[in-house]
C-alpha cells in the first residue's frame, strides 16, 4: 500500500502524543516511568513491534534500519520520532486536530482499502474506532458504523440513525467519497 501525504498526516495526528512522549523522554529521562506505562499498554494492545523499536530508540539507536519490517502505521510513527530528534520543527503538534476537510476522503480511502482486504487499513480503522468510542457522541457513533461501511453498507439512513447533524454530515461526505472511489 502506498502511503499518501494525507494518510501519513492522519497517522501522525492520531499518534502525536506518543511521538512527542518518546522525544520528550529522550531529552528528559525522568519521564521514562510514564512512557513505560504507555508502552506497556501499547504492547498489550498488539503494538509489540512498535514498542520494541521505540525501546531501541530510547536506548540510543537512530538508524533508519529500525524501519525495516514495520507496517505502514508503525513506520510513520518511528520515522516521525527519528526526524523529530534531528529537527524538533518536524514533530506533530498535539494541539492541532486533524484537518476536518481531509477526514472524509481519508476515512473513505481507508474503508475502501480495508474492504479490498488491506490488513494495514483495517488495523488502522480498528485503532481509530477504539479512539472514537472513547471520545463519545457522534465520534463514538461513527466508530460503531465503520465496520458496516467496510462491509458495504451505503444507506445514509441506516448509518446515521444515532448521529447528530455534524456526524450525519461527515458520514454523507464519507459516502460521497466512497462513491467516487467505487466509480474508478
Q: Are residues 12 and 67 in the same domain?
A: yes
Percent of the chain with pLDDT over 90: 41
**Full domain range(s) for residue 169:** 100-182
The CA distance from 85 to 66, in Å, is 14
Average pLDDT over residues 141-167: 90
* Beta carbons of 75 and 66 less than 8 angstroms apart: no
- Boundary residue ending a domain (90, 125, 152): 90
Q: Are residues 64 and 113 in the same domain?
A: no
The CA distance from 179 to 184, in Å, is 9
Q: Are residues 120 and 156 in the same domain?
A: yes
* Beta carbons of 44 and 36 less than 8 angstroms apart: no
pTM above 0.95, yes or no: no
Q: Are residues 105 and 148 in the same domain?
A: yes
Task: Tell me the residue length of the chain.
Answer: 184
Q: Are residues 156 and 115 in the same domain?
A: yes
The more confidently predicted of residues 13 and 66 is 66
How many distinct structural domains can be found in the chain?
2
C-alpha cell at 93: 503538534
Is the pLDDT at 99 greater than 90? The verdict is no
> Is residue 124 one of the residues assigned to a domain?
yes
Is the pLDDT at 101 greater than 80? The verdict is no
The CA distance from 183 to 61, in Å, is 46
Amino acid at each position: 500500500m502506498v502511503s499518501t501525504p494525507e494518510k501519513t498526516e492522519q497517522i501522525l495526528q492520531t499518534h502525536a502524543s506518543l511521538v512527542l512522549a518518546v522525544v520528550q523522554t529522550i531529552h528528559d529521562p525522568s519521564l521514562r516511568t510514564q512512557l513505560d506505562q504507555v508502552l506497556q499498554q501499547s504492547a498489550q494492545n498488539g503494538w509489540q513491534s512498535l514498542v520494541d523499536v521505540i525501546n531501541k530508540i530510547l536506548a540510543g539507536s537512530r538508524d533508519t534500519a529500525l524501519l525495516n519490517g514495520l507496517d505502514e502505521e508503525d513506520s510513520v510513527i518511528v520515522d516521525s520520532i527519528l526526524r523529530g530528534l534531528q529537527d524538533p520543527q518536524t514533530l506533530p503538534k498535539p494541539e492541532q486536530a486533524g484537518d476536518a476537510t481531509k477526514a472524509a476522503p481519508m476515512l473513505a480511502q481507508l474503508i475502501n482499502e480495508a474492504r479490498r482486504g488491506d490488513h494495514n487499513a483495517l488495523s488502522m480503522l480498528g485503532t481509530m474506532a477504539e479512539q472514537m468510542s472513547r471520545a463519545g457522541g457522534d465520534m463514538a457513533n461513527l466508530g460503531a458504523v465503520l465496520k458496516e461501511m467496510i462491509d458495504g453498507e451505503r444507506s445514509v439512513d441506516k448509518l446515521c440513525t444515532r448521529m447528530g447533524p455534524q456526524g450525519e454530515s461527515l458520514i454523507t461526505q464519507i459516502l460521497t467519497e466512497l462513491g467516487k472511489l467505487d466509480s474508478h
